[in-house]
Every structure is written in C-alpha cells, then in structure tokens.
Structure 1
C-alpha cells in the first residue's frame, strides 16, 4: 500500500497469492470495534482467549442439530485459526486453537489482538483485512465508515463466501440490520442514528484500487514488499499533474506519440512531490514502462553542465563569443538544428538557442576526457562508458540518461546556489544526493564546507541566468512583461531522429522534468523539446507557487570590465562594459578580436609606413573576426564593419583574409553518384574578407579558374590524393589536401 504523508491512498499492489491485503493496522476504528465485538465476541475484553460458556452452548446446539449451526470461537481463537490456514475443522483442532489462544492473550494486549483480527479477517472474494475492505466496498478509509458501513463489514468475516456484497442482498441486509438493532438496544447508538443507518444502501460492487501513481507504486513495492509506504507525494499536485499529462497525451497520440513522464522535486528537501511514470496509454504502447527510470538519449540537456564546467575553469565567460561555423573534427561534422550558422555568438545565447556546433567546439576545447570524468560526480548511472565510446557527440545526445538522474542533478545545482546565499558563503558536503520519496526520511546534506563540490556557485548562477533566456513555447511568448510570470531556468533536448523530447526547468524551490516520446524508440517529426515537452513543463509550473529568483552569489562573483562586442576580458582598446563574472573568469583571455589598424587620413584605406607618412596615419581600434566567422557573422549583424583594404601603393600587406568553408579540413571525401551512375562534382568554397577581390584556384598546381564575389569552384577530380590551392590578389594562399574516394 502506497499513500501520501497525510494518508491519501495513491496505489497498491496485489499480494503474491492474488489476495488484496494491506499491512497490519495499529488500531481499529471505534465504530467497527463496537460492531465486531457485539457481533462476534461480546465478552472479548473479559475472557482469557476462550469463552467456556459460548463454547458449551455452541456444542449443545450443534449436537442437537446434527450439524454446525453456531460457532463458539472468540476473536482470539479466530486470529489463531486465520494463522493456521488449511487446518481441518475438528474438535481436536478446536482444542489446539484454544490452547494457542490463551498463549496469544498472554503475549499481546486485547487491542493488539483485535487489530490482528481486523488485519487478517476475510471480507469476501480476495479481500483480506479491514483497510482494503473499507476501500473496495465503500471507497473510503476505515475511520470514515458510518455505522451502517461498519456493521456491513462486521458481518462479512462470519460468512464471506455466502454474503459477498452484490450477491445475497437479502441475507446481508438482514444480518446488518440485526446488528444495528443490537447496537441500538445496547444504547451504543441512538434511535435517530439507527433509523438513518438502516436506510443506507448496501454496497453493490467493489471500488477500483486507486492508481494515482501506478509506476511509483510499482517502484516502491519492489523495494518495500508487503509494507505500508508513506510518501512525499502531494495528493492534489499529483492529481493535477496527471490531468495535465492526460490532456497533452490526447494531443500527442494524434501524431503517434504515446508516452510521457513528469517528475517534480522540492529543491530544498529533494522530496519528490509528483511522479508520473507514463501516460494512460495501452499495453501495445508500453503503458507499464516507467519512463522516469528508462535510459534515453539525452539530446542537449547536458549542455548546461559543460558551460558550468568551462566557466568554473575560467575557459569561458557568460557573453564570450564562441564560433558557430561549419566544423569538422576527426571526420565528425555537427550541425545546428536549423542547419544554419551564426559565425560567432555569445556563449549565453549559444546555450539559450541550444546551438550544437558551439557546444561541440567547446567540448573539444575543454577536453572530452575531462568532461566525461566530471559527469561521474553527478552519478548519472546510465552514462557508464569511457569517453572514447561517446566521442564529441556526447554533448548532443550521444549518451543516455534518465529523468530521475537528470532532475536530481539540476536540483542539486539549484540548491548549491540557494544554500550558498543562505549560509556564510558555504557549500554542503553532500549537496549532490538522491531524491527522496519516503515521508519519514529526511535527507542529510552533510556539513558546511568552504570549498565547492564540483562547480562553484558563480558558474552555476551564470549558467542558470543564461537558461532563463531560452525561447519559451508560443503560449509563453513575452512572459517577462507579465507580473504573474515565473522566472524559470530551463533547457530542452531533442535526440537524433526525434525519438526523445526533454524539458527540465529550475527555480530556487522546484525542479520539473519532462520526457516525451515513444517507449519503443520510434521517432516522430513533432517530437522536439520545445513542441512536445516544454508545454507540459510550463503547465506543471503553473501549479507550483511562484519563487523569487536566485540572489547573485557575490562571494563567487567578481566585477570586471568586459569587451562589449566580444564578451572577453577587455583590453585597453575595447569598448568596455562592466559585468559580474565567476571569479575564475579573471583567468580568462583578453579580447583577441580588437586590433589597432592604421588608416589614411580619410579612413578609406589601410596604410603603413611604406605608403604614408606617420603624421597622416590614423590609428583606430577595429573589431575583426577571422574570415570564416566573419563570413557568417556579418550576414546578421548590419553594424559589423569589414576591415578596409590596403591602399594599392602599400607594400608588405599580405595577411590572413580567407578560409575554406568546404572542404572544412584535410581528409577523405566520397563523391555521391546520381541515378544514372554519373559522379557529382566537388564544390569548393571559401570565405574571403573582401569578396570583390579575385581568387585564383589551382588543382595539383594546375590553374583551373578565378572567382569574384561568390568564391565557389566546381571540379571533377579523379580518384586519389589531390592538393587544392586558393590564391588571392594580395598573394595570400590557403591549401587543402584531400583524398577522393569514389
């Protein structure tokens, strides 16, 4: 039996012998107690386990009738009989029961014996015990039973097979009303109560077993078999989350998406407040699989951990520009979800937009092995292979995890910032711990310590700030303009092939995690974190109290001058702004993109000492990205100014003005074939800082053409090794070595 802390029953599992029974009760409700004593054993509190008078009367009546017409067993004897299942009914067995009953009376109190009877008495069919009987026949707890309901249950153990509710109504009604009259005659109930009681209807059929959290029930009963389990689940919240999942399931299944899971955690206690392991689908679509613990591809939900790790190391600042350009690393070519490039994008924006290319490049910079080792700290049990097994796709969903582990990780990170601000800038030694679902268990977060557990509070806070910028679903657009809106740091994830959609949200008080997909792994076009999982996430957050946002952990932050355009530490020639950054960020790089350039007096051309006098040279700070980053960056940044060209009369002006877009790196290229078996051409492409310049192309040292404005060259190389050379008017040359594998 599984219930909430305040006693609401949320689920149960049938016993191995196919009997519905609950753990033993500690006490018996007064109404049922009065009914069962008057019906079964009126002198229970006065005899030593056996009642000689009752036994003598029963024996005489049975002998006269030639059959059993009256029982003389006390409740104590019936408890013994229930414990000795399958024993034949005989006078010899009766003697044994009597001896054992007296022993039981010496060992236990009368109230305990009565509780044992109530816990193990049969109530018809496969229903054993008062607790389950009260629910199955009346849908309530035993203490809520009326006098009529208590009397009905009191007469059932005497002949459960004969007067099972729904059958033999006349016999059951007669016995119930006879007992009620005895209660009135004994002045236990008054006449009005009696009249109202006999007017109540009899139960016609059994109530269904509550299934408010069936997957949690299954999870807990495996570990606590046969126990009564009080949980941290909030009854009303669980009902409402179930309703939300049901509403979205009705929409999702129209796109052949059948499964979803939701987990809600209290950040401060790590208690589980709501647990929906799956939708109310059918067996064909794996309704019994608990998707909260099922390993699934993580999509992008690990990206925030990488950003925290790099800020903690001083390798990244919140607004630092990171490259978003065509990339190939050891044969691996990541693509952004929208298959476009930004050239360069602030780190916070790259995280908010969940750009794949910056994440892969940052993982390579940080170190795959190093990040894989850092993940071990979070005890993500499904990430159990070495770094080389996952490779760089680790950050894009190349590994599997589960909703339980991911939610506990985000909850621990949120608690780290919150607790740091609520102590003397200290951490808890056991901050990263398992969620708790048992009502009588309190998590031990350890002692206060001065050093961080894994990432410092400043790096975590900066990442959570970036996660607030993630574009919300359509219903949540412009949320920040509404006073009632909630500040939530959240992250989505979509696995390769649209098989898994994730959405995990964090506030200082709560973590909500959502997974949507098909348990059998079938992908569907609409399965994305934003479209499928995020709407559920925000509906669930609407059920939760509003949280004040995290306070900045100033003891792990430092105020520094930052280059306004690049997000790097400011140099003396940057346009500056002041920002709070993680303390480790002071070790970061000074802006590499601002340079002093020498211009002529009209600022039309670059010049140098070979073509202009010193007094006519104007020195100006210029924000310049590398050619390939610039090629994509300037498309969406109208204010970006390309470096002016050198004046024609200047010498010594060769510089890096171009980069290959394709081929991205030296390597092997396989050219696809058309339906007619002809091989497609290889299209070479470069980015040049000055597109209007002429670029001359060579294949294996042989001139093959010139391009201007659009620097693309189509060639048909033979199978084997080749050298591609591009040379601009200023003499700057770039080379790619490739192998054609037709």
Structure 2
C-alpha cells in the first residue's frame, strides 16, 4: 500500500489519467441497457400465459425474463458461443480468426462476437458495424461481465434478441411460432429459435425454409456430437417440421388485460386467475351468447371471487361478440341499473337495525307515494307476505314500503358505507325507486359487497365470534397481493353476523331458473344464497350468488343500453350463474352465529314476537337486535257467540255463552288482498244486530248516488274538473280505504272526501273501513 501511495505521489499525472480511465470504464455502461417499450403480459395464478398486449412500438417484446429455458440455453451457447462460461466478455481467438478471414476476402465473412458482445450490440441499436464500434463493444462487454452474472447476460440476450418480423425475445417467439411456453419447447423447436437471431429473416413463412432447416439440423448434429442429446432424440428432432404462419397470442382474459395495462403497462403481471376455470367459463359465456344473440342480446359479464382470499378467480368482461356490439367494452366495472339486486342489503339492514324479524308480515297492497306507483312484476298483490318471502320472491311493493318505513336517507347511508362508487347522488335524487333499480352500480362493487357479507360470517365463525375491521375491502386480481382484513374486534363492521345469516337463509330459498330440470337435486347438493335483478325496460339482467367459499356475479344485456323482451335476471343471468357454480367445488353452508342470536317465541301467522293472544307459536332463533321489535299486532281478543259467527257483548248474550277468542285480524287493505291468496283467512265477525254499545258501525255514501251518470266539465284552462267522492261514517276518526275498479286510490281519516278524475265509462267505487265493512257505488262517467 505504501508503494502505491508513493507511486501516486511521484506520478501524479499518470495516476490522474489512470483514475479517469477507471472512472470512465466504470460508468461507461448504462445502468439500464434496454429502454425499448415492452408488451403488457398477464399470467394465471400458476404463471400460465393469459394474454399479452403488443408494445407501443409495435413489437412483440415481452418484459425481460431472468429464467431461461434449459434447452434453449444449451442450444444458444452451442450455436453462438461455446466458450461463453470461460471468456471475460470477448474471445481473442474468435476475434483473430474473424479478422483474418474478413481481411482476406475484403468483406465481412464471419463475426467473432461473443453472446456478451451481442448483448452490447443489441443495446446500442443503430450503430454501424465498424472496427471502432467493435472495440467499443469489447470494452463494454468486459464491463458487463463485471456487473452481471453469466446467467443474467444470457437473460439479456434471450429477452432482446430478434426472432424475425416484429418478434423480440424467446418468450414472445415461443408463443408466436409454436403457440406454447418457451419452457415447453422441444429440442428441435429450441434449436430453430437459437439459430434465428443470427439470421432472423429466415423465419418468413414460405421463404428460406431450406436454409433454416439446414442451420437447425446442423445445430442438432452438433448437440449429438457433443453428447448433449442421444441418437433417438436427434433423429426425432430433425424429423420435425418448421413453423409456418405465426400464431396469435392467447387472449383468455382480454378485458382483464385491458384493466392491467392501465396501471401496469409494459410489465409482466401474475394474476390470481385460475386458467382452467377461466377457459371453462369463457366456453359457458360463448354458449349462452350464441343463444342470447338470436334475441338481440349481445353482451354479458361474469366475475368469480374467492371469499376467503378476496381474489379474482375468473374475469370475463364481455362476450365474444363483434365490434358493432361493443365486444371490447369491459362491462364488469361499468355502471348499470341495479334492478332488484340491492334488496338483500335492505333486508339485512332492517334486520340489523331491529326493525323486522325474518318472517314479519309486510304489506303487499296497491301503493302510491305521490306520483310514484310501484308494482310487482306479476301485477298482483298478496295483501300480506313475510319479509323473507318478499325477498326470495323479489316482490317490489313490499320492498318499496319497507324502504319508506326504514328511511331513504338511512338506507342510502348504508350503501355509501359499502363503497358502491356509482352511487354518486344524494338519497332524494333516487327516491324510493332506489330499491328497484333507480340507482346504478357495477358487477365489481356488487360482488365485492356480497363477498364481504359472506366473509363476515366466515370470520365470525372462525374467530369465536369476532369481526374484522376491514371486512368491506377491495378484491384483487394480483397474485402477489394479500388482502389485509384489519384487526379483530368484538364490534360489527357494518352488519351483525346474525342479520347476514338470516338474509342468506332467505336467499337460499329463491326458486331456481326454469329449464333446469334437476334443480331440486342441485339445491340439496349445493346450497347457494342468490338473487336476481331486472332493470326497468328490460335493459339489465343480474344474478349474484354466494357460498361459503365463492361469489359469482353475472350481468347480461346490451352495452348500448337497448332493452329486449325476455331480458330478465332469472331467465338469462341465473342459468349462467348456476352453470358457473357447477364448475366450482362444493361448499358447506354457513355456520349459524348463535352468539348473535337468541331463541324466542314467534307467532306463526304474523312472524312477530308472540303476544299473549297468539294461539299458534313456535320457537325461533332471531338476531339479538330483533328483541326490541314489537309483539304481534295482528292477534286480538274478541268476544263471539258459541257459533263464532258474530261478535257479542253482555248487552245481547249471556256471559256463560260468550267465547273469548284469539283472532288474526289484518288491516282492511291488507285483508282485502290477503284473503284472495289465503282462503282459510277468517275476517273479524261483525257485531250481532241486537248488541248495544259503540260497536255498531255504519257508513253511507253521500256522493255519488248509485247507478248515476256523471258529467265532468272542463274549466277555462281546458282542465277536467275533479269528481269529489264523499262518505259518512259512524266513526269518522277511523281510516277508510278507497278503490276504483279494485285499484287502490288512497285513504281518508276524519274528513272522508276524495278527489279523482276517472276515465270515461263505467266504474265501481269501493270503500272499506278498518273493521272490514264495505260500501259500493256503480257510476258512469262522461266528459
């Protein structure tokens, strides 16, 4: 060391020059050798190719792969640089021989470049092949040998060497010429690709086939002579043909590729997609598309999530339709009208809030909120239906009435917590139609929400009745990403486990789609909580289902929003849903969350907690929040005669002959429709005529007269005047229910007057009071 210091001091200029040379040598090699754009490549969870998007410069150049197939590595070393592992970046002997032969012929007859030098030449695109450039290549090659390992240098070469046309790198070449992964190539195929960078023009289909096969076979002969391959492998290899027309790269998940390229352009991304499942669902979607397109329905999307990992297992963004019908549109993240698909969230919300029990009777009667008049799909009414049954049958009127009772703003708040990003406006913008498709959402957000509900149940069972703070998180399609569910907590994240479980119990009872003759057998083997939805105008058909392990979401429709007859969730989306579930492993049903439930006495007829007057009671487990619900309001104690034909009191019947009877009594409007579907419903008996007291009820029309013909004049603004209906009741403080031709008009109380504008023709006006008494008028209207 002292000698070196002394030499530097005595030879300062030389030392400075040497130092500068060393520094220049050190920094001569760019940190990044190759800056050309690369293709966006996505692979499956097992690293199998799903698809690729060509680089922005039009080249099929995959991102660098540090893993080199063994056969190709062997072939390229034997063909290009047998002393690759021995030289320092250049081979003096090869250079001397090349220089000698080129000088003799006065032209370039052979090259003496090593693989390392070729890497440098590839990185220095556009440089003329001169002796000065060769010197630079040698210098940079030795510098590269200091910086990178031999395998890294081979990886540089394999990923950036030209393979003819617009194909660059072994990975792209293997797929373009042999339609398979580079690791799966045979010796003949590997040898073919190994000789191509030396003369890439040989690969053009129909040209130079003889020269290419000679070069390939010469390399195979060399491998045989060096005992790399045996004689049988050699003869089988030379018998193989050459690639002809390039293959198109796989496009197994094209819409996911689009999505990945937005954030990871030019990168190789390993996704969570199950390749076999993706391929089979692609086939299912194509099969259904072939049928649906005959009815002018061209688009569909399917998303499959793993509940436990929250990873995407299959991503089908659209059907294999044409550009005219928007085949490139990824429907999964596009906003569409929700139809009835939000109803389970309302049901869960009301259970969680303790506003209902699973079988609480809710009204299903003609209903009008201002100008909004919701109707059930089949245009009929049940009068009263259990909340659970209303959900499983997807009845619209009970859902709207439940939303109105729960509160529009309250429910809107819950949906915002679910992070449905297409819910952009305030609650009043949507109104009560929010629950019937008045809002928009997308398949991704809806599936993630159902997955969060399922995962909440799983975690509650797995952690001895605890929740996770980040349950309602975003799913991922990246294999490397692990979802963080947050910290364990005894407090619910949004909904308690019991409310979710009871919702799923209801959704499990949804009828299977028509045409699946074995659905009853299917139902017993695979229990699925599922829901369909259909938007107004038959524009969107939904079906989303969940088991303990998987969530499957399906949307069917037209990307341009065109509605079509028959575009109904249960008819077109549900069959795809169950075809997909057929591919998935069987899951056990969710465990009942007993720690969030309590067994109580429930009135069988009303579904409320049993009151003292309920005569038919059963023990049921309900959510803890349901303990605050009121007891049954529909069972009352009445006094009837021995035949139970009339109500009586002590003024008209001896006390010994009076029976105290529990009676199930619905409000008149509910009873009016309920008895049409329930023939065993017994209306409350009337009071016997000889009984005294305040029980006698009478009502009579004041206007119009029965069988009258009424003319409705117009005012100065050409507006037809109202017809004012009036009635007198012995108890004016009770509520009266008005109907026109069995269409519900509204209610009155205290002042029993109602203004209507009926159409021309004959009509029947019916008024029903709270005790079931009726009054009718038949009229004719002229204008």
Q: Is the 8 A contact 2:508 2:527 kept in 1?
A: yes
Q: Is the 8 A contact 1:671 1:680 kept in 2?
A: no
SS at structure 1 position matched to 2:154? helix
SS at structure 2 position matched to 1:344? strand
Question: In structure 1, what is the equivalent of residue 658 of structure 2?
Answer: 617
Q: 1:147 offset after TM fit, Å?
A: 1.3
- TM-score (ref. length: structure 2): 0.86
Question: In structure 2, what is the equivalent of residue 259 of structure 1?
Answer: 299
Structure 2: distance between partners of 1:525 and 1:88: 67
**Residues 128 and 714 (structure 1 numbering): CA distance in 2 closer, same or farther, change over 3 Å?**
farther
Question: In structure 2, what is the equivalent of residue 156 of structure 1?
Answer: 196
Q: 1:53 offset after TM fit, Å?
A: 2.3
Write the deviation string for residues 141-169 of structure 1: whole angstroms up to 9, x where unpaired: 11211111111001101111244354210
| Larger displacement relative to structure 2 (447-456 or 478-487) | 478-487
1:643 aligns with 2:684: yes
1:5 aligns with 2:66: no
Q: 1:680 offset after TM fit, Å?
A: 6.6
Match 2:374 to one of 327, 334, 350: 334
SS at structure 2 position matched to 1:2? strand
SS at structure 2 position matched to 1:181? helix
Structure 1: distance between partners of 2:146 and 2:522: 70
Q: Is the 8 A contact 1:503 1:537 kept in 2?
A: yes
Structure 2: distance between partners of 1:382 and 1:445: 24
**Residues 672 and 113 (structure 1 numbering): CA distance in 2 closer, same or farther, change over 3 Å?**
farther
Please list every run of 5 or more consecutive structure 1 residues that lacks an aligned counterpart in the other structure: 674-678, 696-705, 719-742
Question: In structure 2, what is the equivalent of residue 426 of structure 1?
Answer: 466
Q: Is the 8 A contact 1:631 1:688 kept in 2?
A: no
Question: In structure 1, what is the equivalent of residue 418 of structure 2?
Answer: 378
**Residues 537 and 714 (structure 1 numbering): CA distance in 2 closer, same or farther, change over 3 Å?**
farther
Structure 2: distance between partners of 1:660 and 1:383: 37
Structure 1: distance between partners of 2:754 and 2:279: 57
Question: In structure 1, what is the equivalent of residue 83 of structure 2?
Answer: 43
The aligned runs of 1:112-191 (5 Å cut-off) are 112-191=152-231
Q: 1:74 offset after TM fit, Å?
A: 1.4
Question: In structure 2, what is the equivalent of residue 660 of structure 1?
Answer: 738
Structure 2: distance between partners of 1:601 and 1:142: 92
1:450 aligns with 2:490: yes
Structure 1: distance between partners of 2:517 and 2:67: 55
Match 1:590 to one of 607, 626, 631: 631
**Residues 96 and 531 (structure 1 numbering): CA distance in 2 closer, same or farther, change over 3 Å?**
same
1:604 aligns with 2:686: no
SS at structure 1 position matched to 2:331? coil
Question: In structure 2, what is the equivalent of residue 321 of structure 1?
Answer: 361
Q: 1:580 offset after TM fit, Å?
A: 0.7
Question: In structure 1, what is the equivalent of residue 238 of structure 2?
Answer: 198
SS at structure 1 position matched to 2:248? coil
Structure 2: distance between partners of 1:334 and 1:236: 44
1:401 aligns with 2:479: no
Q: Is the 8 A contact 1:265 1:510 kept in 2?
A: yes
Match 1:626 to one of 650, 653, 667: 667
Please list every run of 5 or more consecutive structure 2 residues that lacks an aligned counterpart in the other structure: 1-40, 698-730
SS at structure 1 position matched to 2:246? coil
Structure 2: distance between partners of 1:273 and 1:713: 64
Q: 1:556 offset after TM fit, Å?
A: 0.6
| Larger displacement relative to structure 2 (325-334 or 642-651) | 642-651
SS at structure 2 position matched to 1:12? strand
Match 2:114 to one of 74, 98, 104: 74
Structure 2: distance between partners of 1:330 and 1:339: 19
Structure 2: distance between partners of 1:101 and 1:481: 70
Match 1:234 to one of 258, 263, 274: 274
Structure 1: distance between partners of 2:229 and 2:306: 47
Match 2:584 to one of 541, 544, 561: 544
SS at structure 2 position matched to 1:492? strand
Structure number, greater radius of gyration: 2
Structure 2: distance between partners of 1:375 and 1:354: 19
Write the deviation string for residues 484-528 of structure 1: whole angstroms up to 9, x where unpaired: 631111000000000000000111111111000000000001111
Q: Is the 8 A contact 2:737 2:747 kept in 1?
A: no
Structure 1: distance between partners of 2:191 and 2:766: 89
**Residues 582 and 300 (structure 1 numbering): CA distance in 2 closer, same or farther, change over 3 Å?**
same
Match 2:335 to one of 287, 292, 295: 295
Question: In structure 1, what is the equivalent of residue 514 of structure 2?
Answer: 474
SS at structure 2 position matched to 1:292? helix
SS at structure 1 position matched to 2:101? helix
**Residues 89 and 402 (structure 1 numbering): CA distance in 2 closer, same or farther, change over 3 Å?**
same
1:568 aligns with 2:619: no
| Larger displacement relative to structure 2 (65-74 or 373-382) | 65-74
Q: Is the 8 A contact 1:607 1:646 kept in 2?
A: yes
**Residues 478 and 244 (structure 1 numbering): CA distance in 2 closer, same or farther, change over 3 Å?**
closer
Write the deviation string for residues 517-548 of structure 1: whole angstroms up to 9, x where unpaired: 00000000111100000000011111111111
- Superposition RMSD in Å: 2.1
Q: 1:423 offset after TM fit, Å?
A: 1.4
SS at structure 2 position matched to 1:542? helix
Write the deviation string for residues 39-78 of structure 1: whole angstroms up to 9, x where unpaired: 1122211222122222232233233333322122211111
SS at structure 2 position matched to 1:590? coil
1:462 aligns with 2:502: yes
Q: Is the 8 A contact 2:534 2:541 kept in 1?
A: yes
Q: Is the 8 A contact 2:768 2:774 kept in 1?
A: no
Q: Is the 8 A contact 1:419 1:426 kept in 2?
A: yes
Structure 2: distance between partners of 1:659 and 1:713: 18
Write the deviation string for residues 161-199 of structure 1: whole angstroms up to 9, x where unpaired: 244354210110111111111222222222222211111
Question: In structure 1, what is the equivalent of residue 536 of structure 2?
Answer: 496
Structure 1: distance between partners of 2:762 and 2:429: 35
SS at structure 2 position matched to 1:474? coil
1:413 aligns with 2:453: yes
Write the deviation string for residues 676-706 of structure 1: whole angstroms up to 9, x where unpaired: xxx6777644446788x662xxxxxxxxxx5
Match 1:535 to one of 557, 575, 592: 575
Q: Is the 8 A contact 2:668 2:771 kept in 1?
A: no
Question: In structure 1, what is the equivalent of residue 618 of structure 2?
Answer: 577
1:440 aligns with 2:522: no
Q: 1:86 offset after TM fit, Å?
A: 2.0
Match 1:88 to one of 114, 122, 128: 128
Q: 1:348 offset after TM fit, Å?
A: 0.6
**Residues 482 and 106 (structure 1 numbering): CA distance in 2 closer, same or farther, change over 3 Å?**
closer
SS at structure 2 position matched to 1:58? helix
| Larger displacement relative to structure 2 (93-102 or 358-367) | 93-102
Q: Is the 8 A contact 1:628 1:660 kept in 2?
A: no
Structure 1: distance between partners of 2:222 and 2:376: 80
Match 1:33 to one of 59, 73, 83: 73
**Residues 714 and 87 (structure 1 numbering): CA distance in 2 closer, same or farther, change over 3 Å?**
farther
Structure 1: distance between partners of 2:214 and 2:187: 15
